Amino acid sequence: MQDLETSVLDKINKWLSGSYDNDTKNEIQRLLDSNNTAELTDAFYRDLEFGTGGLRGTMGAGSNRINKYTIGATTQGLSNYLKKAYPNQKISVAISYDSRNNSSYFARITAEVFSANGIYVYYFNELRPTPELSFAMRHLGCQSGVMITASHNPKEYNGYKAYGPDGGQFVAPEDEKVLAEVAKIINIDEVNFAAKEENIELIGEEIDELYLEKIVRMSLSREAIKRQKDLKIVYSPIHGTGITLVPAALERFGFSNIFLVDEQIKPDGNFPTVVYPNPEEKEALILALKKASEIDADLVLATDPDADRVGIAIKNNAGEFILLNGNQTGSLLINYMLTAWEKAGKLTGKEYIVKTIVTSYIIDEIAKSKNVTCYNTLTGFKYIGEIMTELEGKNTFIVGGEESYGYLVGELVRDKDAIISSAFIAEMTAFYKDQGSSLYNALLDMYVTYGLYKEKLVSITKKGQRGAEEIKSMMEKFRTKPPESLGGSRVSTLKDYAKRKETDLLTKNFKAIELPKSDVLQFITEDGSMISARPSGTEPKIKFYCSVKGHLNNREAYQQVEKELEDKISRIMNDLNP
- 89 DSSP assignment: S
- Structure confidence by residue, pLDDT tens digits, 378-417: 998 999 999 999 999 999 999 999 999 999 999 999 999 9
Three-state secondary structure of 221-282? CHHHHHHCCCCCEEEECCCCHHHHCHHHHHHHHCCCCEEECHHHCCCCCCCCCCCCCCCCCH
- DSSP string spanning 52-83? TTBEEEEBSSSTTSBSHHHHHHHHHHHHHHHH
- Structure confidence by residue, pLDDT tens digits, 336-377: 999 999 999 999 999 999 999 999 999 999 999 999 999 999
pLDDT number for residue 385: 97
Query: For residues 248 and 212, what is the distance between their CA atoms, to the nearest angstrom?
Result: 8
pLDDT number for residue 255: 98
CATH superfamily of this structure's domain 210-450: Alpha-D-Glucose-1,6-Bisphosphate, subunit A, domain 3 (3.40.120.10)
Query: Cβ distance 82 to 144 under 8 Å?
Result: yes
Active site residue 421: no
pLDDT number for residue 172: 87
Q: Out of 79, 151, 421, 529, which one is annotated catalytic?
A: 151
Query: Cβ distance 563 to 571 under 8 Å?
Result: no
pLDDT number for residue 2: 58
Residue 382 contacts by C-beta under 8 Å, 6 or more apart in sequence?
A: 52, 168, 169, 170, 171, 415
Provide CATH 3.30.310 ranges for the chain.
Answer: 452-576
pLDDT number for residue 52: 55
Rounded alpha-carbon distances, angstroms, from residue 409 to 213, 307, 330, 418, 490: 15, 15, 11, 10, 38
Query: Cβ distance 284 to 238 under 8 Å?
Result: yes
**Mean pLDDT, to the nearest integer, of 23-50?**
92
Please state, rounded to an integer, the average pLDDT across all residues of the chain: 96
Q: 10 Å Cβ neighbour count for 316?
A: 16
**Mean pLDDT, to the nearest integer, of 15-28?**
96
Q: Give me the residues paired with residue 406 across strands.
A: 402
Q: Given CA atoms 410, 414, 419, 422 in this order, what sign does their dihedral have?
A: positive
- Structure confidence by residue, pLDDT tens digits, 329-345: 999 999 999 999 999 99
pLDDT number for residue 53: 63
Distance of CA 115 to the CA centre of its chain: 29
Rounded alpha-carbon distances, angstroms, from residue 180 to 74, 107, 165, 388: 10, 22, 19, 26
pLDDT number for residue 179: 85
Of residues 474, 463, 473, 480, the one with CA closest to residue 544: 474
Is pLDDT at 51 greater than 80 in this prediction? Answer: no
Q: How confident is the model at residue 578 (pLDDT cuts 50, 70, 90)?
A: confident
pLDDT number for residue 49: 79
Query: Cβ distance 144 to 177 under 8 Å?
Result: no
Peptide bond before 173: cis, by omega within 30 degrees of 0?
yes
- Structure confidence by residue, pLDDT tens digits, 244-284: 999 999 999 999 999 999 999 999 999 999 999 999 999 99
Is pLDDT at 50 greater than 80 in this prediction? Answer: no
- Structure confidence by residue, pLDDT tens digits, 459-500: 999 888 889 899 999 999 999 999 999 999 999 999 999 999
Query: For residues 501 and 478, what is the distance between their CA atoms, to the nearest angstrom?
Result: 15
46-203: CATH topology: Alpha-D-Glucose-1,6-Bisphosphate; Chain A, domain 3 (3.40.120)
452-576: CATH topology: TATA-Binding Protein (3.30.310)
Query: For residues 563 and 63, what is the distance between their CA atoms, to the nearest angstrom?
Result: 47
Rounded alpha-carbon distances, angstroms, from residue 500 to 357, 383, 390, 495, 523: 13, 16, 21, 8, 14
Is pLDDT at 235 greater than 80 in this prediction? Answer: yes
Is pLDDT at 1 greater than 70 in this prediction? Answer: no
pLDDT number for residue 54: 74
Q: How confident is the model at residue 540 (pLDDT cuts 50, 70, 90)?
A: confident
Q: 10 Å Cβ neighbour count for 219?
A: 16
Query: For residues 399 and 388, what is the distance between their CA atoms, to the nearest angstrom?
Result: 10
What's the length of the chain?
578
Query: Cβ distance 179 to 127 under 8 Å?
Result: no
Pairing, β 120-124 against β 55-58: unpaired
